[in-house]
Chain A
Amino acid sequence: MLFRNKTITSVLSLSLVATLALAGCSSKNDKNGNEASKPADNGQASEKASEKPAKDVTISYTIWDKNQQPAMEAIAKEFTAQNPNIKVKVEVIPWGDYWTKMSAAAPAGTLPDVFWMHGGQFIKYATGGFLEPITDKVQSGIIDLNNYAANLGSIYTLDGQNYGIPKDFDTIGLAYNKELFDQAGVPYPDDTWDYNKLAEVAKKLSQPDKGIYGFAAKMDTQTGYWNDMLANGGHILSDDQTKSGYDEPASIEALKFRYQMTLDKSSPTHQQMTDTDSTDMFKSGKLAMIFEGSWRNGDIDSSEIIHGKWNWAPLPKGKVKRGNIINGLGNVMSAKGKNKDESSLFLQFLGSKRASEITAEMGAAIPAFNGTQDAWVKSKPDLNLQIFIDQVADAFPYPSGTKAYPVWFAKEPEIMSQAWGGAISVEDAAKKVADMMNQAIADNK
C-alpha cells in the first residue's frame, strides 16, 4: 500500500505541474494582448502636472527605429537646452511590437506623450480620439504645413483636423554591389535602365552554384512589387481608394515578371529569402541588386563586407513610367498625456527646421522640412543619395489612409506567399488579394 500512495503522490504532484504549465499556456493565448498593456514607463510617474512652466517634467518620446535613436536623442538634447525644465526620454519599441503595444496602450490611456506615427495606422488612432489635434496651431500659423516637402502634411489630416507634423519621408532605390558588377564587366545601373535590362543583367550576374544572385525578386510590397505594378501602369488601389488594383492585367503582368526571376535563378527562391532576409544577403555580398528604402541606407552601409563597394541607382523604368512609393512618418502626441503643454512644445520643436537639420546631418532619414534634404544627401558623400530626392517627382503616395488598410495589408502577404511558394499561380493570387481587399474595404466603410 505504501507503494500505491507513492504513485498517487507523484501523479498528483506532476499533474499540478502540468496544470500550471497548461494554465500558463492558455493564459498566454487568451489574454488578448493584455500582456502588452503594461504601461510603458513613460517617465512621468513621479512628476506632477503643473501649470507653471518652470516645473521640471520628463516627457516620453517613443520611436521604432533603433538606427535613428542617436539622432532623436540629439534633437531631444537640443530641445532640453532651450527648455531646461523639460527632459525628454527617447524609447525604442521595435516595429514588430510597436503597434501591438500602442493598440494596448491607447485604450488604457498610457500612450507615450509624443510618438512616431505611420500613415497606415493614423486613421485608427485619430478616429478613436487618442491623438491631440494641432489644428489651432496650424490655423494660427505657429505650425506651417507648407514648410514640408511633397504635401506630407496631408497624410496626418482627417476631416479637416490636423494631428501630425511631418518628420521625414522615404522613397525606394536600387542598391547595387559594385564589386559583383566589376567582376562580370557589366556597367553599373543608371537612369536609362528599364525592367528588361534589370532582368537581363540579373541573369548575367547570377551564379547559383556559388550562392550569388543578380537580384532579389522578393515578395514584398513597398520595397517590392508595388513599384513594379505602378511602373507597368497598374495600381495598388484605385485613385479613390475604393477598389483593389491587384487584378488589373498590368498589375498581374508586373507580378509575373518579378516572380519569373525566382524561376530563372536570377534571384534566390522565396524559401531562401524567407530563411535569410534578402537585405542581409545584400549586406553580405551575395546579391548584386536589390530594391530598398532610403531608411535602410545607414543600416546597409554599416556592413563591413560591402562598405565602400556599393551604391544607389534610381528604380528601372517600366512600360508606362518609373514607379516608386513615397511615404512619410509623422510625430503626434497623445490626447491623454499628463504634460500636454510641454509635449506640445516638443512636438513643435520636432517639426522645426533645426530638428530636420539634425536628422539630416546624422543621416537618420530624409527630413521633411523643405531645404534640409541636401544635408542628408551629403551625410554619406560616397553614396548617390540624390536619387531618393529626384524620384519624389515620380513617386506614388503609400496607399494607406483608409480604415481598411491595416486589415488588407496584414492579410496580403499570406496570399501572395502562396504564389511565391509555387502553390497557386500568380494570377490566382492577385485575384484573391483583390477580392480580399475589396471585401476589407466594404467591411470598413
Chain B
Amino acid sequence: MNEGVMAMNTKSRYAWAYVMIAPTLIGTLLFWSWPAVYSIYLGFLKSENFGLVNHWVGTQNYEKLFKDQEFWRNLRNTLFYMVLFVPLTLVCSTVLAVLLNAKIRGRSTYRVIYFLPQVTMPAAAAMVWVVLFAQDYGLVNYALGTHVSWLSDPRFAMYSLVIVGVWAAIGFNMLLILAGLQGIPRTLYEAAEIDGAVGFNKFRYITLPLLTPTLFFTTIVLMIGATQVFDSIYMLIGKTNVALPAVRSLVYAYYQNAFVYYDQNYGAAIVNILLLVNLVLTGVQFLFQKKWVVYD
C-alpha cells in the first residue's frame, strides 16, 4: 500500500515536471527546431504559388549561391563583423566587470547604467544612434570635428554598426562575467597576497584562469549572435542606403531573398550555409578549449 502511494507520487511528480517544461519544450520544438529542419528541406526545392507547389531541384539553389558574388561578399561582411565585434565586446565586458566587482562607491548604479542597453527597445536605441551618427547635426561629428556620413559611407558604416553592436552587448556579457567573478573564492586572493602577489598579477594568475569557463561560454554565444546580425542593419542602414552592400550580413540577405524577393528557397540556402558556418565555428571552439579553458 505504502509502496503504491510512493510510486504514484513519483509518477505524478514526473508528470508535473513534464507539464512544467512543456511550454518551453513545445515552443522550442515548434518555432526553433522544426523551422531549422524545414529550412534545410526548403533549400532543395523550388517553390511556386506561395509554397503550395514545390519542385525538387537538388543542389541548384546552392550552385547559384556559390556563383553569386554578392553571397561571398555577404559572408565576408558577416565574418568581418564577427571578428571585430566578439573581441571588442569580450574585452570591454571583462574590464567593466572587473571594475564593477571591486568595492567602489555606487557600483550598483554603474551596473544598472551598463545594463540599460539590454533592456532598451532595439528600435528606440537605433533611432537615437541614427541621430548621433547624423552627418549634419550629429553629436559624433560635432565631438570629433568631422563631417563624415557614418551610416551611409561604405568605408565607415561597418565600424558604426560594430560600435552600436558592442554598446548593446556589453551589459549582458558584463553580467555573465560578473557572475563568474563572484564565483572565484576570496580565499585564493588572500593566499596569493600572503605569498606576495599584487595588483595585476592577481588578475593575471587567479582571476583570468578561473574566469575562462565563463569566457568560453560567452565567446561561443557572442560568435553565434554576431553571425546573426540583422536588426541593426535593418534599422540603421536600410534598404536604399548606398552602404548596404558593404555591410549586408547573411541574415539580411536571407530576409531580402525570402521576404522581399519572394524566393524562400534561395533564402533557405543562405541560412543553411550560415548554420554550417556556426556549427564549424562552435566545433572548432570546443576542440581548442582544452588549450585555454581551466576547469578545476
Chain A residues with a Cβ under 8 A of chain B: 3-4, 6-8, 10-11, 14-15, 18, 20, 22-23, 25-27, 29-34, 100, 103-104, 106-107, 124, 127-128, 219, 270-271, 274-275, 406-407, 410-411, 413-414, 417-418, 420-423
Contacts and interface: CB of A to CB of B under 8 A. Distances in A.
B52 A128 contact: yes
A27 B35 contact: yes
Interface string B207-248: 000000110010001001100101000000011111111000
B240 A15 contact: no
A104 B255 CA distance: 15
Contacts of B24: 20
B44 to A, nearest CB: 15
A10 B184 contact: no
Nearest to B152: A271
A219 B244 CA distance: 16
Interface of B, secondary structure class, is helix
B147 to A, nearest CB: 12
Contact of B254 (A23, A29, A34, A417): A29
A26 B242 contact: no
Interface residues of B, number: 56
A31 B31 contact: yes
Contact of A11 (B39, B135, B214, B260): B214
Contacts of B139: none
A30 B39 contact: yes
Interface stretch (B5-13, B80-88, B173-181): B173-181
Given A26-B36, A274-B238, A106 B50 contact: yes
Contacts of B27: 23
Nearest to B260: A410
B157 to A, nearest CB: 11
> Do most interface residues of chain A lie in helix, strand or loop, or is the interface mixed?
helix
A275 B228 CA distance: 26
Contacts of B254: 29
Contacts of B42: 32
17 contacts: A3-B183, A14-B176, A15-B217, A26-B35, A26-B228, A29-B251, A29-B255, A30-B32, A31-B31, A104-B50, A107-B52, A128-B52, A270-B240, A274-B241, A406-B262, A410-B261, A421-B152
B245 to A, nearest CB: 7
B212 to A, nearest CB: 12
B175 A14 contact: yes
Interface of B: 24, 27-28, 31-32, 35-36, 38-39, 42, 49-52, 130, 134-135, 149, 152, 154, 175-176, 179-180, 182-185, 213-214, 217, 221, 224-225, 228, 230, 238-245, 251, 254-255, 258-264, 271, 296
Given A4-B296, A410-B260, A10 B31 contact: no
A10 B183 contact: yes
A34 B39 CA distance: 13
- 6 closest A-B pairs by beta carbon, nearest first, are A421-B242, A7-B183, A10-B179, A30-B35, A27-B31, A417-B240
A31 B39 CA distance: 9
Contacts of B152: 271, 274, 421
Given A25-B228, A407-B261, A7 B221 contact: no
Given A26-B36, A33-B259, A3 B184 contact: yes
A423 B154 contact: yes
Nearest to B30: A27
A8 B176 CA distance: 11
Given A10-B183, A11-B214, A103 B50 contact: yes
